[in-house]
Structure 1
Amino acid sequence: MRLERGFFARETVQVAKELLGKVLVREVDDQILKGKIVETEAYVGPIDKASHAYGFKKTARVEPLYGKPGISYVFSIYGMYVCFNIITFKEGSPEGVLIRALEPIEGIDSMSINRFKKEYEELDKKKIKELTNGPSKLCIAMNITKKEHNFIDLITSSELYVEDGEAVDNMDIVETTRIGIDYAEEARYFPWRFYIKENEFVSKK
């Protein structure tokens, strides 16, 4: 069952935690790709120096962050990769959740070709683990692009959305600091990264 807007229209840190175990779905070229969300990060723009919209900063780039809960925000990094986020809380407050890692569960052969230009059966253990264990890696594997998927509504989209999945017990969730935000002063210490304990597709433990 597809998640509705009400799921995302809640406190951002809680949504980031509860997205664990949910399933990101990508429909492309008559194929369905699915990955279980195993790692997330919360970003709360009004108070978060790690956010692109800290202090309600407004630019064309961050416009999606001010949209309705359930809107996508896909941004570029290093000029060649992208990261996928889902807007949360309420329209007008720039908050969202970065999807950091997935566990592939359907359409894995297509993910492998997208990511490595190889059939899944050709991958060694290291490559299998690296298929979707990072925010840009999962975008390549799922064929998520900034041009096609920034600022779309995941509640109504026919090509990218989130389905309900298995519940993850609180005892199996690790809460820790986010990655790659050393510039963010005190915000670098916020415990707003969540991942499923012992899952091999988590980007960093």
Structure 2
Amino acid sequence: MDALTQLNVLGLVLSAVLLAMACIKADRVRAWRAAINPSAEELPDAFFVVSRVALVAMAGTGIYLSVQGFGVSDDTSWDDSELTSAVQGATNALDGSSGLGDIYAEDTDTGWIDEYATTIEDEVVEHGGGDAPQYDVYATPAASNTASEARYRVTASGAGTAFCLDVTRTRSKDGDYEPPGIAGGQGTVTVPSYDFAVTMRQATC
């Protein structure tokens, strides 16, 4: 439970206490005062009416602020259902996608792996929905990744569930990209194009 949620719960508890105080009968309060200070002046009925109105008003304000606070808390942290839906949406969007590589890098280069982590994070956030935060998503590459296959542990702040995305990168079947109007010393310059196959599973990689 984060600090904001704890504060909201405390607000509801205090509001319940205020409502309980408003329900105490006037005769009981008078009896308590007489037992503590027999010489004290007796409180008029108007005092109890005003006190009850004030206590109920404060309790109502506390409940309203706590409810609003729960809404804010939900918008600032992920839950398991939000992350599950977002990761599924990101997987569907990335599976079968294609992208350009570094013109100077070989197929054995692993530089794309860290860059693709950012792509995954952005896609998860995009598919999070209106109630999910727009941040605090982490795609952590596994240590055993290779130039053609990579795994990412996907987590989010507030969610207890973790997912593993398996990404396979292959040279595009449609061929490399040829920028118009650019030629090298030995012919047309091409930019390597890759296809990505992405699957997900609930695991920690």
Greater Rg, structure 1 or structure 2? Answer: 2
TM-score, normalization by structure 1: 0.25
| Larger RCO (CA within 8 A; separation ≥ 6) | 1
TM-score, normalization by structure 2: 0.25
The structure with more strand, counted as a fraction of residues? 1
The structure with more helix, counted as a fraction of residues? 2
